[in-house]
A and B are shown apart, each in its own frame.
Chain A
């Protein structure tokens, strides 16, 4: 895939603030229609990267193409095609939910119907409530709605579900899946690993401004990663790590059967994305 065909193509991207190197030469490509997750702890460079792609910040080095153009030379026509949900809420407190959507819909030439968007983000019952009377989670859902109301091709979601209760998170995930079905490209930053696992086709893990791992969520958890086997013997907890889980389990159970014992507390765990992430982002 060439840079022109990709929804987002980033090569050798660098950005410093004074002496702090926030992004230290990263490369990644997002295909049209893909949900791409940018994972990492706070301060890893996620927001800096996203804000360069959104056209807010100038890079120090590297090339960036977003929907075929350099975001430093953003035009209104390009902005028609992108949707942005910032990391912190950015709303007018005295407008109602539906009015907020109408205001932003008015900036686009072919917006989605605000009535439909208010349903989509689950705010139908709060459509006529002023923003300042909405809960934090409801305000975030309205932020999400505003990011969608222009009917963009590429949507940036910067920590979209931070502060959501579990029900609202699942609803937001369904919304994102719905967008994916519509063929939208989504760049999602998150520090919730289950969110990345649930939503992203591919993820890149950022640490200290560098991509330390990239692939599908199952690439990251699969491969030559060790499986953990736990059991109890003679009253002691034993933890083994092995890349040959089947053989090792067969040995253990055969031994136990030969002795006529039960393998107490037997647990076999494949590492989750969370384990990998913690390992990758550990200092």
Chain B
């Protein structure tokens, strides 16, 4: 337990010390929320039955946040550590592999929760978005998102060969995904081909869940179909991680 605590503290130091990564994964969703919320927060979205845009965007930025912290940020960090030999080095210590991975996940979750709390607080203060009525479902949706997208992020590392290419590859996947999944805009208004892509992306379903909980004040389990799709993608990520995650740099 103290070993896990030691490693979570280490991970936290490492995360906040790496300013560039902390900016892109932690701060960017918050900045987007403030900027876009100021631009169209008070307009109403006709595709979503005239819903005010600010709460819609707030829940979308939680989805964007999970993709940037748990998926993109985690994948890039782990590839850089793998290629830099840090993961290999850790394997030679008495720290059990599972303790290390659990610590990485806990630390990622801590960052995501702080980010979500800031987004919800900013929404309340700047855009008068009410707090979600179902705190348990809110926590559950955050846990679900962090676990599923972290599994996908770890799964992706096996397909990224070099530290230099890691942010290019990961951003190429996650930025279009964030846009197509409708974290900023309602996917209901998309042209059919984008809609077709959106319908297979995990973030589309995850954002639907954050909106159910945060905007419509429903329980997480009121849309079990969407929960199932997110879990399925998480399971695919987990299988890819078990098959492809490496502790050692790719040599030659």
Give the interface of A toward B (CB within 8 A): 54-56, 76-77, 79-80, 82, 84, 86, 88-92, 94-95, 99, 103-104, 106-109, 146, 150
Contact = CB atoms under 8 A, between A and B. Distances in A.
Interface in B97-125: none
B89 A86 contact: yes
Given A56-B88, A89-B85, A90-B89, A106 B10 contact: yes
B5 to A, nearest CB: 9
A90 B84 contact: yes
Contacts of A108: 93-94
Nearest to A108: B94
A51 B120 CA distance: 50
A82 to B, nearest CB: 7
B93 A104 contact: yes
Contacts of B88: 56, 86, 90
A66 B177 CA distance: 49
Contacts of B85: 86, 88-90
Interface string B16-29: 01100000000000
Contacts, number: 58
Nearest to B100: A107
A18 to B, nearest CB: 12
Nearest to B90: A107
A79 B93 CA distance: 6
B92 A82 contact: yes
Given A79-B92, A108-B94, 18 more contacts: A55-B92, A56-B88, A56-B92, A76-B96, A79-B93, A86-B89, A90-B84, A90-B86, A92-B86, A95-B14, A99-B13, A107-B3, A107-B6, A107-B90, A107-B94, A107-B95, A108-B93, A146-B89
Contact of B14 (A79, A80, A92): A92
